[in-house]
Structure 1
């Protein structure tokens, strides 16, 4: 027997919740084939089989478990086919004795008396048995309608991931002096670049040219100019990060998770898009690694993919800044003394006012706007 144990799943994580079992007892599993889902306070992971064999016994069907606990036993080798039991041959029905009066009534009414259960001595079929067979059964009472489900309550316990999200959102509101500033960006230049070079970009790099890579590049450039937003508070100290790990909020089945693009300042736009596409796919498949969710010096979230026009993004402590993108909407704006229709996006920057002043926050958002509206600046780094 091989013990299937819960492995270490990330820094400071000691407990997991047993999710859905992907295999049942007696199933054959192959090496590295997922057996059960493990839900942590950061992500949902799949526990693979360490060897080929048969899932012999599930020890913890559901509920909480700790790192190192044995959740199942795996027997090496292929499953043995179990022969199906032979169906027992029913005994032949006993011979029926039909009383003469019952036989005459049965013949007149077309009833087969040999199919009736006799109530007379020795199981004999009486005239009364035939008469009962001719009497229609009483109608089945109609069940009363089920109560309406409109006022039904359903109590569902929070998953560890949802509990962790709730804790961090509450922590951000209670432990930071959060403030939000707003601006808007004309997305026309970026959209034109995507129209002109999107197809050749995808052919060369195997991934679509999205909006997010422009914002990651813009954010990194402006963080280099305004380091207060790439910092954190530790006790009475301010820690300035001289690296740029950008968290990207990705929607999963249970809520947003924020995988981190490490050293984003050293990546090309193609590498950024490839990393984001990989994150999105693995979050959907619940294969994101816990260590990929740790750290981060700044976060970008895009509510626009859900249709949001404006919002106040909540900080991801200990980070002191988060940029919110929103839906692109054509609306009238003033350009050169005339009213024109332009594709506009609202931008929101939430920041920790304890170490970021309004001047730095407003300047940061204005510089991001400038780079997005004139993306050649991203190439020239001006």
Structure 2
């Protein structure tokens, strides 16, 4: 059983410590040689830490930990065999995303209103965006613009929450996020 200790390499002159920003693999995963396993932040840059050998990885540091240059951050068991079917989930992911793009392209064609004249009940680009965000159809709004065109003002007045200035639906909760050393 041969185990390799992965140590933090020196990212540059005068840098003595780095922060583990994110682990790109999980504890117990099989990693290939030169596969990025972690992102580390130094005072000057964010660097990827590649696996030195192939094998099962055991993490020794957590995300957000500040580690010294040369400190062991993970172990790689090089005697472990590669598990079967590790490449199949990667090939399936792009196929799942392709139909979503096609559906989005078909939606604008469905929204085109049937009008008696060229401009009647046709929303301006700004009005169309407002109506789309609120889930309203152009047929629900009476246009006051030239030749019956729906203006931005018509769309704002048609949406009840946008016309009033005293909307209390929002929340101003504060969240605190840790910034990187970079």
TM-score by length of 2: 0.48
Q: Is the radius of gyration larger for structure 1 or structure 2? A: 1
More helix by share: 1
Q: Which has the higher contact order (CA 8 A, sep 6+)?
A: 2
More strand by share: 1
TM-score by length of 1: 0.24
